[in-house]
Structure 1
Amino acid sequence: MVVNASKPRVSKLPPHELNVRKFAESRASELEGLHSVVANRLDNDFRSLRNKRKRTTGHDNRVARKKYRKKKRVESGNSCNNDRLEKHEKKVSRRTRRSIELKKNPQIGFCTSGDGTKRLRTHVWHAKRFSMTKLWGFHIPLGLHGRGRGSRALLKKLRSGVLIHDASYYGTVQLEGPQDKLLSVLSSVLVPPPSKHDGENFDDILSGDIFGRAVLHHTGKPSFPSIAPVTFMWRPLQHITIHKEGDNVNMLDELQSNDDGATFRRLWVCIHAAALKEASEALAHACMDMTGGSARCVSLEGHLATLELIGSKASELVEKMLPPACYIPEKSWYLKQCNAAENSYPGKLEKTPVSKINNQISSSLVIPLTVKDPRALTMKQQSIFTLGNSCNLLRYEEVETEHESESVVDYGDLWDASEGICPPMEESVACMEKYYQRNEYIGLGITNFGNQNALVKGKYSRYCPVLLLKNENHEDSVKRCSIVLPLSWVKVFWNAFVLNGAHAIGLREKHWIACEIGLPYFPWDYPDCSAYSYIMEMDATAMNQRATLCPPSQRPLEIPIPPPWDCVKLIVKPSSEVGNSLNQDEGHGSADVLGDNLVRNSVCGLSDTTTIPFEGFVARTSCSLNDFLNNISASHLLLFPRMKDQKTCMPKFMNDEEHLEQIANVSGMQCGNTRCFLRVHIHAHKEGVFEQGAVICAPDAADIMSWTRSDCDNHQLQIPQSSLRSHFVRLPSGKWALQIPEDPAVRESYRRPIGFITTGFVRGSKKPTAGALCEAILLARLRLEQWKALPARRRRKEIFVLVRNMRSTAYRLGLATIVLEQQEEDVKFM
């Protein structure tokens, strides 16, 4: 093809400037022709018809202005003219005032409603789409509108997308002081306490590379009711660079050491809003008792916020929406952080492909970042970090990005949030800036763009410090990560994540996900905490209100809320009566049980509205379970906490008949009234749906043989319909008690409770699992009975249990798996 070089080239781009007058003069003949056509059709009468004027005079306010001018002339001679005008001015409506208030974005603090309830920064977004509820002093999104269904579609999005939840209602408490003093404070209130015996895990937590999880207790009272599960992280040791004879020397900041030589550190403890007040008081008392005032406790409520991302594509969305302030041309920033983590953990990721680093780096990783404002990102700018194209436009933006990154020096990090961090640019200013940039590109130059940029410089910021917390990932579970950021930046990042594919969820949907993953959900799965009593009281009140709306003849069966944990009784039998001891009673009828409860309530002075505290404790670590068994001389029980030789111990005890006989003949257990509960996962053996609050009972050997036989599929154990309402009796004090039937015919279907389900099945799950708490000694005895009754080839690690929903008469067979036998600690939560 021959190209004519003498012919001038015509630019395909639009002109840089458009002259409107020249454009109109060139089209003058066309405009005059159109005007003549319209004039002929209207007979040169361009006035609007009278019958059409009523539709166009609704906006005319000439009458109102005439009245106002007349009123002004009458009051012109009055000396109090201004005061009277203020009286006649119309007040701003509540809707307008509230809209103005919610659009504000102060640097710290939550805006509140009339009763003092706090609103999240994303309150307007959630209130338009979610059912809101008042909980723990906040307006919190409960879930999508409807009857509480939609779990099947949610689980599908969990496996193929990203879910986001605004957890800004979590509070943060900062502990400051010498490092050894802070360690003593944590050892007195946390279970498990941070210890040097943890090895590399303790060193990584202390250096700030990973965060830790534990259960908070009062000072020196680990066996007392716990407060809440918490997440804690240390601020990394800061390094400074000094210039010495032309060389840069990296050394620790000398300001972090006091006169005694102890290192001054900072520590964050993240706490759920349901227990924030109680936890803050416990930490403050611990600082005073354990350090004598050398360490202090500072509340950061209203300074920080948290966004939780859950789903199979959470990492991809985080990498896309959180570009760092510095330009990384060779690879994405997330992989670079993973490589940095690889250097922090030598030997763990050696000879590992880059694609598998994300799943093999240490869990609970903390990644500090300074990221750009997501509103300034475009598809072309994002392609710089992923593809590295080299067209003209991208090359221009690449140079600009590198220039901006040079100005981000010593910006600080999120640990200085209490001292103040610049809020993001207002939405109107950001939109106007993007409008100017687009006009400048197409050739419509704007002269005041630089002036507009100078006005907002210093008042707002284009960069935000964040902390990216990577939660533990198992091969069969979904990815989870949390983003801790300043409170003033939440709305910006929330809108960016939602517009790029993240699906928002509320408390109800988050509870479903926790059950699907197999993690406990606070406070529903923590009956030993005071927050559990509060949430159960709210559920009972809501259920009673719904029942009062129905006629008395159609009201549903009243069930105990919360479950009557006192009904789980410990009856120690002699060694010769181990068989079927769990379901045998020693003559204690309903009158004895009711009388004992009445006396106990009268002594305690409980009223109808008083919530009975949870009696007992929940063992959430293998060490606490072993200590409990050793204290009551019950180390021989068939409980196998997570140990190194567990895989060899379990089959050995399962197949050793002589050893089982020796365990059955061992006596001397001194349990008394102490009850230790363990968290278990329950699966249905064949069929059945286990609901929240269902009672877990101990089956007989005949029940297991009948259910597990292949020729008997329709076996069902039921209690009589007549005894359903009298199975749990509500006392005048408001407490529920178990009534043991006296009729021998009814008593045959009675099975002794050993625990209750705290989280029921999720509809639509492929592997439905229920979370429950069962008494440890009763579980061990139940396992011993089953291993003795069944042949060795039919024995299982799981324990057979019976589950009955509160409003059902039928028992269903289930398989219970003790969590502490699968992992060493059960402190991870959602």
Structure 2
Amino acid sequence: MAPKRQNESQSAEEASGRDRKKQKTAIARTIAVQPDVGPSTSGAPPEAGPSKSVRFDSMKGLPSALDVEKFAESRAFEINAMNEAMQNARTNSSARAWQQLPRHLRRRAASHDIRRVPLRLRDKARAEMDPARRKALGRSNPKQGKLKSVKRTTSLLSRQKDKTWLETHIWHAKRMHMDTIWGYKLAVTPTEKSFRPSHRASVHGSILHDASYFATIEIKGPEDVLRAALDSCCDCQGPSPSAKRYLSGARTVESHIYEYTRYPHDLVGPATIIWHADAPEPGPPAISRGKHVKGKGKGKDTEVADDHQQRQRVVWIRVHPSITENVHEVLRISLAFALDAVKETGRVAEAEMADLREHFNVFEIMGPKASQVIKGALKPVDDKRSEFKKFWNSLSHIQTAGAVPRGMVIGFTVHDPRLSFPPKNAKLELEGGPSLSPASTVFPSVGLAQSQIWDENTRMVLRKPKYKKKDLDQRRSNNLVPGTTLKSERNDDRVPVLLIQRSVENAALSSPQAPSAASHPASTTSLHGWTLVVPQGWGMPFLSSLIYTGTRVGGQRERQTQAFEAGCPYFPRDFPVTEAYDMYAEDRAEEEHDAWERKPPAKRPSYEKLGTRSPWRPDWGVVLGIEGPATTLGGQVFLETQREEAVAVDGMAVAADKKVEQWLLRGPDVPQLVAEVASMLNPAAGLLIQVNQVRAKRKLDPLVNVRAEDLIKGALVQVSITLCGRGRPDDLAIIYRIGDNEAREWIKAEAKRKKGLSLLHDGGPDETELSQVSPKDGIIGYVTTGSFSLSLGEGHAIGAIPFTQYLELRKQFQRLRNDSKLLVKLRNRDETVCRAGLVDLLY
């Protein structure tokens, strides 16, 4: 048969390019061998010849003497052949230099820039480069002189005119997607695919996040003034920020900031409050310079001490960067009123408030291995406190930071972490037997919480490290034994740090006060770890040591995912009716609307045909019944505000122009408050009574000019929703109420599923029964965060519904005698299928 191509006959005789390449590589990897020339004919003694097989039980065949010089000459061919073979194998490798790097070290710039390649591969990379490109990258002819060139520091500072960089910005910018948020240039997410690995690290390993963008506000003043100011603007539920357990400084308190005496309205946002532990624990103070008061009974005189109320204290308040200015204003007003109240008693008092933004570097290390990472990366200075020694030794024995008390504060001083670089993780040492865990013997105390990081002069001295990295590298190169750690000298820096226990957990799902807390088998995963606070200027030294231990680094997406997987609301995304949420919702609506308009009509959902009332941002006023549905007029959207009807006063019609205020009901006392309000005949009046009782705990006046109907009408509660069957709720999904008949069908289907009977593919009724879009008046809330939960293994959502609707769900729950949780329906804004979900109350 004739060949189909002209060169086919030639290709049969000549090898192809691929075969020639294989042949060339095989030749390059072959070591030449010298042929055997036979025995020597001279009378000289035999030298070492070619290798022969020699029996182990005989010395035959071995020379009686060995001359090293002649032996090397006789083996010169083999030695040269070995060197040439190694060189040829290195130069004829099938992979380029930058391709031999691990995937997490590969960079696109490494393929054409030798300096991006590790030192061991630079010679190979230099040989592989194009000579023309190599000459261009040599920079032998700079465009401008060295004196005229802009310095690197000046160039970097000029790029921070409209935003602020963290100290670890350059490290993050090389490895993460960056975005300008809240006036900072922050890392959003790693460039590599790391969504699931980051979740595994937070559950089984450790993950680090640079939270230095959080603002710290410092207040100095008399103790009674600070306590009064905080009580007037913090959450009235739960323990007070000035309670004894927190006032000592041994623990931090998680609270919420409100406008001055405006609780429960005008929520600003969450805050973490830390008292300085320089003073002794509060208790019966010593009697000194007290007021002389005439006693009763036998006529004895008593001394009333007030020094403990007037002593100067310091408190730090850490808040989210989006509410920094609002918190500043609230604290200023609260301090002003507290000082005025003190002046009325005839005492002169002063308070000072300072903004400590950019004074600290804060790292959040979450996961079971966070304790071992902390102990491996930090080397404490010799500390004589027995409490600290006991705590530091316990870090090697605890399996999770959740074993220590919540919010525990530990202050200590560490050596420069660059001296002991590279660090090694501390190994977990598990002790068998019935003995108590080491963490159960460590308790918060004032002595354990003391740290020099509170001193401003100390922080200013440490603002710039004494030695640069190149100086320490020079000292390390002078060591006689390479690789040994440097010993701390007298001039080396000692850095004070603050270690705070941090937990991301939701107590609502496991609370016995919930109507059906244990009815659903799924439960979220609580995350525990540590918050490390270091002074300004020490961000990169500590970051390098922490990440070298194998800890993953996360951005904003990873931090939000931690809260979502734990079933906790995340600020400001899940806090409606707050100013920070309005700004966040407006930016997201504008971004999503622009992306929707860029798509052609055939490639985007038609929300009008789908019946989605508000596709871009939730209309909480319409859900609460305060505002009417949005209407479009002249291309602009208007909301019909429902105001109160006119009332007659002394025969005259007076229009009530007061608008119902929206507010968010949350706090540790919410389950008990809801249970008591639901049991009353008039829930509106009961809610007002409960709110006034909570305000009385902080010595606040009862709410005036607020009707009970308006208070309960404007209340929202946060809920957690888990889908009964398949599906995944998205952000801004719509929450509908579910009818009694429909709810009974789902209850029966759930009972059959538990018995193991055959059901449909999604474990419930046919989807066609719920595929019809519910009427718009059946909307009772919106999902603020929705996705597939990796910890639950099913769809999960966090949203908000009116408080009145939640009470209706409880009545339906009691009416149907349901063994499951409260039932609602969810529909994504771009779908028509509604799916049933189980509701839990968040607080």
TM-score (norm 1): 0.62
Matches within 5 A, 1:47-446: 89=145, 97=152, 113-145=159-191, 150-192=194-236, 202-238=243-279, 262-292=310-340, 294-326=350-382, 333=389, 335-336=391-392, 359-377=402-420, 412-416=452-456, 420-422=460-462, 423-424=464-465, 425-438=467-480
Contact 1:205/1:211 (8 A) holds in 2? yes
C-alpha distance in structure 1 between counterparts of 2:620 and 2:588, whole Å: 17
Q: Deviations over 1:276-320 (max 9, x none)?
A: 111112212221222147222111112112100111211111121
Contact 1:234/1:266 (8 A) holds in 2? yes
Q: Deviations over 1:51-86 (max 9, x none)?
A: xxx999959999989xxxxxxxxxxxxxxxxxxxxx
Contact 2:401/2:530 (8 A) holds in 1? no
Deviates more, 1:559-568 or 1:528-537: 559-568
C-alpha distance in structure 2 between counterparts of 1:435 and 1:800, whole Å: 68
Aligned with 1:795 (options 777, 799, 819): 819
Sort the Cα spacing of 1:589 and 1:439 in 2 relative to 1 into closer, same or farther, 3 A.
closer
C-alpha distance in structure 2 between counterparts of 1:682 and 1:297, whole Å: 42
C-alpha distance in structure 2 between counterparts of 1:384 and 1:689, whole Å: 39
Contact 1:516/1:762 (8 A) holds in 2? no
Once the 2 structures are TM-superposed, how far is the Cα of residue 153 of structure 1 from its aligned partner? 2.8
C-alpha distance in structure 1 between counterparts of 2:563 and 2:545, whole Å: 25
Once the 2 structures are TM-superposed, how far is the Cα of residue 112 of structure 1 from its aligned partner? 6.5
Letter in 2 for 1:566: G
C-alpha distance in structure 1 between counterparts of 2:835 and 2:140, whole Å: 77
C-alpha distance in structure 1 between counterparts of 2:427 and 2:600, whole Å: 66
Contact 2:577/2:664 (8 A) holds in 1? yes
Sort the Cα spacing of 1:479 and 1:195 in 2 relative to 1 into closer, same or farther, 3 A.
closer
Question: Does 2:508 correspond to 1:468?
Answer: no
C-alpha distance in structure 1 between counterparts of 2:137 and 2:233, whole Å: 70
Letter in 2 for 1:374: P
C-alpha distance in structure 1 between counterparts of 2:137 and 2:724, whole Å: 75
Matches within 5 A, 1:427-826: 427-438=469-480, 461-472=492-503, 477-557=526-606, 560-570=615-625, 598-600=639-641, 616-621=662-667, 623=669, 634=680, 670-671=709-710, 674-710=713-749, 713-716=764-767, 752-762=778-788, 764-768=790-794, 769-788=796-815, 790=816, 792=817, 794-796=818-820, 798-819=821-842, 826=843
C-alpha distance in structure 2 between counterparts of 1:421 and 1:177, whole Å: 24
Contact 2:222/2:309 (8 A) holds in 1? no
C-alpha distance in structure 2 between counterparts of 1:331 and 1:307, whole Å: 24
Sort the Cα spacing of 1:211 and 1:554 in 2 relative to 1 into closer, same or farther, 3 A.
same
C-alpha distance in structure 1 between counterparts of 2:570 and 2:270, whole Å: 10
Letter in 1 for 2:359: H
Once the 2 structures are TM-superposed, how far is the Cα of residue 333 of structure 1 from its aligned partner? 4.5
Once the 2 structures are TM-superposed, how far is the Cα of residue 270 of structure 1 from its aligned partner? 0.3
C-alpha distance in structure 2 between counterparts of 1:418 and 1:193, whole Å: 37
Contact 1:565/1:615 (8 A) holds in 2? no
Matching residue of 1:404: none
Sort the Cα spacing of 1:417 and 1:538 in 2 relative to 1 into closer, same or farther, 3 A.
farther
Once the 2 structures are TM-superposed, how far is the Cα of residue 273 of structure 1 from its aligned partner? 0.8
Sort the Cα spacing of 1:504 and 1:378 in 2 relative to 1 into closer, same or farther, 3 A.
closer
Sort the Cα spacing of 1:299 and 1:592 in 2 relative to 1 into closer, same or farther, 3 A.
closer
C-alpha distance in structure 1 between counterparts of 2:826 and 2:358, whole Å: 44
Sort the Cα spacing of 1:523 and 1:91 in 2 relative to 1 into closer, same or farther, 3 A.
farther
Q: Deviations over 1:242-287 (max 9, x none)?
A: xxxxxxxxx9999xx9989711100000011111111112212221
Sort the Cα spacing of 1:432 and 1:64 in 2 relative to 1 into closer, same or farther, 3 A.
closer
Once the 2 structures are TM-superposed, how far is the Cα of residue 620 of structure 1 from its aligned partner? 1.3
Contact 1:143/1:508 (8 A) holds in 2? yes
Q: Deviations over 1:486-511 (max 9, x none)?
A: 12111111111111111011111111
Sort the Cα spacing of 1:629 and 1:431 in 2 relative to 1 into closer, same or farther, 3 A.
same
Any unmatched runs of 5+ in structure 1? 1-26, 39-53, 66-86, 103-110, 241-250, 340-352, 388-409, 443-448, 572-587, 604-612, 642-667, 725-747, 820-825
Once the 2 structures are TM-superposed, how far is the Cα of residue 544 of structure 1 from its aligned partner? 2.8
Once the 2 structures are TM-superposed, how far is the Cα of residue 416 of structure 1 from its aligned partner? 3.0
What's the secondary structure of 2:834's corresponding residue?
Answer: strand
Once the 2 structures are TM-superposed, how far is the Cα of residue 601 of structure 1 from its aligned partner? 10
Q: Which has the higher contact order (CA 8 A, sep 6+)?
A: 1
Sort the Cα spacing of 1:500 and 1:438 in 2 relative to 1 into closer, same or farther, 3 A.
farther
Q: Deviations over 1:707-748 (max 9, x none)?
A: 333367342367888xx7xxxxxxxxxxxxxxxxxxxxxxx7
Once the 2 structures are TM-superposed, how far is the Cα of residue 144 of structure 1 from its aligned partner? 2.2
Any unmatched runs of 5+ in structure 2? 1-68, 81-130, 290-304, 341-348, 431-449, 511-524, 608-613, 645-658, 688-706, 750-758
Sort the Cα spacing of 1:770 and 1:112 in 2 relative to 1 into closer, same or farther, 3 A.
farther
Contact 2:249/2:277 (8 A) holds in 1? yes
Contact 1:371/1:466 (8 A) holds in 2? yes
Sort the Cα spacing of 1:700 and 1:537 in 2 relative to 1 into closer, same or farther, 3 A.
same
C-alpha distance in structure 1 between counterparts of 2:711 and 2:239, whole Å: 32
Contact 1:164/1:505 (8 A) holds in 2? yes
Contact 1:314/1:481 (8 A) holds in 2? yes
TM-score (norm 2): 0.61
Contact 2:733/2:826 (8 A) holds in 1? yes
Aligned residues: percent identity?
A: 21
C-alpha distance in structure 1 between counterparts of 2:185 and 2:211, whole Å: 12
Q: Deviations over 1:533-557 (max 9, x none)?
A: 2222221222233234323443344
What's the secondary structure of 2:713's corresponding residue?
Answer: coil
Contact 2:371/2:400 (8 A) holds in 1? no
Of Structure 1 and Structure 2, the greater helix share is in 1
C-alpha distance in structure 1 between counterparts of 2:736 and 2:720, whole Å: 15
C-alpha distance in structure 1 between counterparts of 2:583 and 2:389, whole Å: 44
C-alpha distance in structure 1 between counterparts of 2:708 and 2:226, whole Å: 39
C-alpha distance in structure 2 between counterparts of 1:620 and 1:386, whole Å: 40
Sort the Cα spacing of 1:303 and 1:672 in 2 relative to 1 into closer, same or farther, 3 A.
closer
C-alpha distance in structure 2 between counterparts of 1:61 and 1:680, whole Å: 61
C-alpha distance in structure 2 between counterparts of 1:441 and 1:135, whole Å: 41
What's the secondary structure of 2:364's corresponding residue?
Answer: strand
C-alpha distance in structure 1 between counterparts of 2:460 and 2:175, whole Å: 32
Contact 2:237/2:669 (8 A) holds in 1? no
Contact 2:630/2:640 (8 A) holds in 1? no
C-alpha distance in structure 1 between counterparts of 2:177 and 2:660, whole Å: 31
Contact 2:825/2:834 (8 A) holds in 1? yes
Contact 1:718/1:810 (8 A) holds in 2? no
Sort the Cα spacing of 1:700 and 1:176 in 2 relative to 1 into closer, same or farther, 3 A.
same
Sort the Cα spacing of 1:208 and 1:677 in 2 relative to 1 into closer, same or farther, 3 A.
same
Letter in 1 for 2:375: E
Letter in 2 for 1:153: P
Once the 2 structures are TM-superposed, how far is the Cα of residue 751 of structure 1 from its aligned partner? 6.0
Contact 1:547/1:555 (8 A) holds in 2? yes
C-alpha distance in structure 2 between counterparts of 1:63 and 1:264, whole Å: 63
